Amino acid sequence: MRGRPAGFLIGLVCVLAGCAPAAALPPSPASAPSPATPTLLGIQTRHGTLFVTPQIGSADRDAWSTRLDWAAESLEATDLGGLTDDWDGRLDVELTAAAAEFSALAGPDSADAAAVTRCLAGRGRIAVNPQVLILQPDYLDGLLLHEAVHAALASPCAAGAPLWVEEGLAEWVATEHSPPAEQTDLAWAKQTLAADGVPQTLPPDAAFAGGQLLPAYALSRSAVAAVVEHGGTDWAMAFFGRAIAGTATADEVARVTGWYRADLTRLAGSERDGK
Ligand SMILES: [Zn+2]
């Protein structure tokens, strides 16, 4: 990322992370009519259904069908223990050509999100913001895989899971299969550690907002990676399941926090040493 203006990095990470609406944007007038739900054509792929509007051309249809299958296969190849037991291995992805169509599907608060996964009839369904279609394929791969984790875990269909677990898992899976996504998250983590030092706690839900959003994604990925590395995959995935269900014990959280802080301390040290 060296040599690029900071805004460029933020924009790309923002896109990857699926940003919350920018605070600077004026709110939509309350009286604005809801955009009509677009008519979508369902295209069956090997591992799911790509829903497109007629304006999506054949090149985008082909590229996103391939990307959908890659994301599903990458997710299938990642050992998430029992977390994906209820997933049928298929993804539903919506691709529209106009911002209003995306808003109609994803909700009015999603205008600046790169992609959104919502709950539809008990399944997670992904809508991709047409504004990101021009971005690099590598970034779009990471974006779709991130959302695919939310869809496979049906996260939008349940509430209450700690955001560091949900977003950290999504980022961790994406970075396991997308080196550019990992580089971006590591750059954010190092930058945050250099500015603020090693945090005392796991990322709180309140960190997933405003200017802290991108570091929160990056640090959550580090937290998930630390649990997998120190606890082993089986223990890690069982722990994440308990954390999502709200049954993780204080002792477990304390142990995980120790692993997380140790890894971040090492990362901060390697950055200082110029490694
Ligand atoms: Zn997410």
Residue whose tokens read 């805004």: 7
How far is 67 from 95, CA to CA, in rounded Å? 12
Residue whose tokens read 């779009």: 140
- Which of 100, 132, 157 corresponds to the end of one domain? 157
Co-location of 133 and 54 in the same domain: yes
Does 90 fall in a domain? yes
Could you list the residue range(s) of the whole structural domain that residue 216 is in? 163-272
Does 21 fall in a domain? no
Q: Are 156 and 125 in contact (CB under 8 A)?
A: no
Instruction: Give the pairing type, strands 48-52 and 91-95.
Output: parallel
Co-location of 149 and 169 in the same domain: no
What is the CA(273)–ligand 1 centre distance, in A?
32
pLDDT in tens, the chain (275 residues): 222 222 233 333 444 444 333 333 334 444 455 567 899 999 999 999 999 999 999 999 999 999 999 999 999 999 999 999 999 999 999 999 999 999 999 998 888 899 999 999 999 999 999 999 999 999 999 999 999 999 999 999 998 899 999 999 999 999 999 999 999 999 999 999 999 999 999 999 999 988 788 999 999 999 999 999 999 999 999 999 999 999 999 999 999 999 999 999 999 988 676 65
How far is 138 from 179, CA to CA, in rounded Å? 9
What is the CA(16)–ligand 1 centre distance, in A?
9
Report pLDDT for 20.
35
What is the CA(140)–ligand 1 centre distance, in A?
14
Residue 125 is which amino acid?
R
Could you give the 3-state DSSP secondary structure of residue 115?
strand
What is the CA(36)–ligand 1 centre distance, in A?
26
Co-location of 142 and 188 in the same domain: no
β-strand partners of 123: 120
Co-location of 194 and 110 in the same domain: no
What is the CA(226)–ligand 1 centre distance, in A?
19
What is the CA(7)–ligand 1 centre distance, in A?
21
What is the CA(167)–ligand 1 centre distance, in A?
5
What is the CA(149)–ligand 1 centre distance, in A?
8
How far is 187 from 185, CA to CA, in rounded Å? 5
Q: Are 192 and 219 in contact (CB under 8 A)?
A: yes
What is the CA(128)–ligand 1 centre distance, in A?
13
Does 29 fall in a domain? no
Does 23 fall in a domain? no
Phi-psi label, residue 150: left if phi above 0, alpha if psi -120 to 50, beta otherwise: alpha
Q: Are 189 and 264 in contact (CB under 8 A)?
A: yes
Report pLDDT for 206.
94
What is the pTM (predicted TM-score) of this model? 0.87
Residue 72 is which amino acid?
A
- Which of 157, 172, 192 corresponds to the end of one domain? 157
| CB-based burial, 222-237: b 16+ in 10 Å, e otherwise | bbbbbbbebbeeeebb
Co-location of 169 and 148 in the same domain: no
How far is 236 from 225, CA to CA, in rounded Å? 9
What is the CA(252)–ligand 1 centre distance, in A?
24
What is the CA(17)–ligand 1 centre distance, in A?
6
What is the CA(274)–ligand 1 centre distance, in A?
31
Nearest to 165, CA basis, from 109, 216, 105: 216
Residue 2 is which amino acid?
R
What is the CA(70)–ligand 1 centre distance, in A?
18
Domain count, the chain: 2
What is the CA(147)–ligand 1 centre distance, in A?
6
**For helices 163-177 and 6-17, angle between their N-to-C axes, nearest 10 degrees:** 110
Containing 88, the helix (H) or strand (E) segment is none
